């Protein structure tokens, strides 16, 4: 039976980059016998403006029951001032499918993409395991005496042993499977003493099961400093939802911008479950419709998706071709080329067909 892949192009530049990613998937389906079925979803700002639909239960259920992967472009549109529809979809997928490990490789594919003096691509090669189902994103909290001088507004950072442990285990399992020598926990345990005491305790407990891997602690503030000084010691970083969000945008900068940053959200303990695949970039409304968006982040995300389907060698192949595109200037302007979105996609497809 073919694997069902839901495509959710979304808003802004989302449809433009997902179109190129779709062509890559179609090539794998039609010429490389990767047995997939594509199912394009009409969700996002357009749909919301049309009929107020955000993330219907039937779609959520079909994804949960039948799909192997969702490929999401990006969400967010200036015509819809509140982001509620976008959150319904994004968190509906991440939380609803219990995709607890948001895996974001921070890997520079060419020396020229690295913005740091004296550093080369080989210095930027780590993977962030971001907890993806709890933390501050639970949005538990409220406002009291709203609109008065005495207003109080609270958000709670909620961490469960189960949630923290499974994410940390996912990071160590990845490190073991990929021969990595260290895993870093990034936290703020010197300020968040309740939540991050749990993270620390759990981290060093789990680490005992992986004696061949060095378990190290780093404060999130120090990590952000080290990343602009010398990112080379980092291999695998496990962290909470919020810090993972921050550090992977910074990481995007280290790999040449968000036009190069891919991500996978998985229920990591069960590789058969559906996964969510997103370029890290947003919908970038000012760039939409101009054929300037970099399709490589979406295409690299297809690489992660193919690994999820059991074809890790195709992820490597895709990375190698993207690296060549950068080297040869067959890429969009943000990464030093002069191609449009479509032309960069054309170049990639031609290279992949060879």
Ligand X SMILES: CC(C)[C@H](C(=O)O)[C@@H](O)C(=O)O
Binding site for ligand X (CB under 6 A): 190-191, 221, 245
**From a second copy, ligand X, none, interface partner of 252 (C-beta below 5 to 8 A by class):** a second copy
**From ligand X, a second copy, none, interface partner of 161 (C-beta below 5 to 8 A by class):** a second copy
Residue 315: helix, strand or coil by DSSP? helix
Tokens encoding 195: 């939540």
**Near a second copy in 190-219, by CB under 8 A:** 190-198
- Neighbour-count burial for 204-227, b at 16+ CB within 10 Å, e otherwise: eebbeebeebebeebbbeebeeeb
Single out the residue of 3, 88, 235, 245 in contact with a second copy (rule: CB under 8 A).
Answer: 245
Q: Does 149 bind a second copy (CB under 8 A)?
A: yes
**From ligand X, a second copy, none, interface partner of 313 (C-beta below 5 to 8 A by class):** none
- Neighbour-count burial for 240-264, b at 16+ CB within 10 Å, e otherwise: bbbbbbebbeebbbbbbbbbbbbbb
Choose between 49 and 191: whose C-beta lies nearer to ligand X.
191
For residue 96, count CB atoms less than 10 angstroms from its CB and return exposed for 0-12, middle for 13-18, buried for 19 or more. middle
CB 26, min distance to ligand X, A: 26
Radius of gyration for the chain, computed over Cα atoms and rounded to the nearest angstrom: 20
Choose between 124 and 318: whose C-beta lies nearer to a second copy.
124
Q: Does 152 bind a second copy (CB under 8 A)?
A: yes
CA atoms lying within 13 Å on the CB side of residue 117: 0
Tokens encoding 239: 């962290």
**From a second copy, ligand X, none, interface partner of 197 (C-beta below 5 to 8 A by class):** a second copy
Q: Does 287 bind a second copy (CB under 8 A)?
A: no
Choose between 240 and 315: whose C-beta lies nearer to a second copy.
240
Q: Which residues, other chains included, contact 104 with Cβ-Cβ below 8 Å and sequence gap of 6+?
A: 127, 128, 130, 244, 248, 251, 261, 262, 263, 280
**From ligand X, a second copy, none, interface partner of 33 (C-beta below 5 to 8 A by class):** none
Choose between 140 and 191: whose C-beta lies nearer to ligand X.
191
Q: Does 136 bind a second copy (CB under 8 A)?
A: yes
Q: Vertex 62, ends 307 and 25: CA angle to 5°?
A: 35
| 331 contacts 296 by C-beta, under 8 angstroms | yes
Which region holds residue 76: left if phi is over 0, alpha if psi is between -120 and 50, else beta? left
- 3-10 vs 67-74, strand pairing mode: parallel
Single out the residue of 52, 58, 65, 148 in contact with a second copy (rule: CB under 8 A).
Answer: 148
Choose between 309 and 326: whose C-beta lies nearer to a second copy.
326
**Near a second copy in 224-243, by CB under 8 A:** 224-229, 241-242
Q: Does 122 bind a second copy (CB under 8 A)?
A: no
Q: Applying CB under 8 A, which residues contact a second copy?
A: 83, 87, 114-117, 136-137, 139, 141-143, 148-162, 188, 190-198, 220-222, 224-229, 241-242, 245-250, 252-254, 257-258
């Amino acid at each position: 039976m073919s694997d069902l892949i839901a495509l959710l192009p979304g808003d802004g530049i989302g449809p433009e980059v997902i179109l190129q990613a779709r062509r890559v998937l179609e090539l794998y389906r039609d010429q490389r016998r990767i047995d997939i079925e594509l199912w394009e979803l009409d969700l996002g700002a357009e749909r919301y403006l049309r009929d107020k639909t955000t993330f219907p239960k039937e779609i959520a259920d079909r994804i949960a029951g039948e799909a192997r992967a969702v490929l999401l472009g990006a969400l967010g549109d200036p015509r819809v001032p509140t982001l509620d529809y976008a959150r319904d979809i994004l968190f509906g997928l991440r939380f609803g499918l219990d995709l607890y490990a948001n895996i974001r490789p921070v890997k520079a594919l060419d020396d020229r993409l690295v913005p740091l003096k004296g550093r080369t691509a080989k210095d930027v090669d780590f993977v962030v395991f971001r907890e993806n189902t709890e933390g501050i994103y639970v949005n538990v909290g409220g406002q009291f005496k709203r609109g008065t001088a005495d207003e109080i507004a609270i958000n709670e950072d909620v961490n469960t042993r189960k949630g923290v442990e499974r994410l940390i285990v996912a990071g160590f399992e990845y490190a073991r499977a990929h021969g990595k020598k260290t895993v870093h926990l990034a936290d703020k345990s010197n300020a968040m003493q309740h939540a991050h005491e749990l993270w620390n305790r759990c981290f060093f407990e789990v680490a005992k099961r992986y004696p061949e891997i060095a378990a190290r602690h780093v404060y999130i503030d120090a990590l952000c400093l080290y990343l602009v000084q010398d990112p080379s010691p980092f291999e695998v970083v496990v962290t909470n939802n919020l810090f993972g969000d921050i550090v992977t945008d910074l990481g995007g900068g280290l790999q040449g911008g968000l036009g190069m940053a891919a991500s996978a959200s998985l229920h990591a303990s069960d590789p058969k479950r559906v996964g969510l695949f997103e370029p890290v970039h947003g919908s970038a409304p000012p760039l939409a419709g101009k054929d300037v968006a970099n399709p490589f982040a979406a295409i690299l995300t297809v690489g992660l998706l193919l690994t999820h389907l059991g074809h890790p060698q195709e992820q490597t192949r895709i990375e190698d071709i993207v690296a060549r595109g950068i080297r040869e200037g067959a890429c969009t302007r943000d990464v030093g080329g002069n191609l449009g979105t479509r032309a960069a996609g054309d170049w990639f497809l031609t290279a992949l067909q060879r």
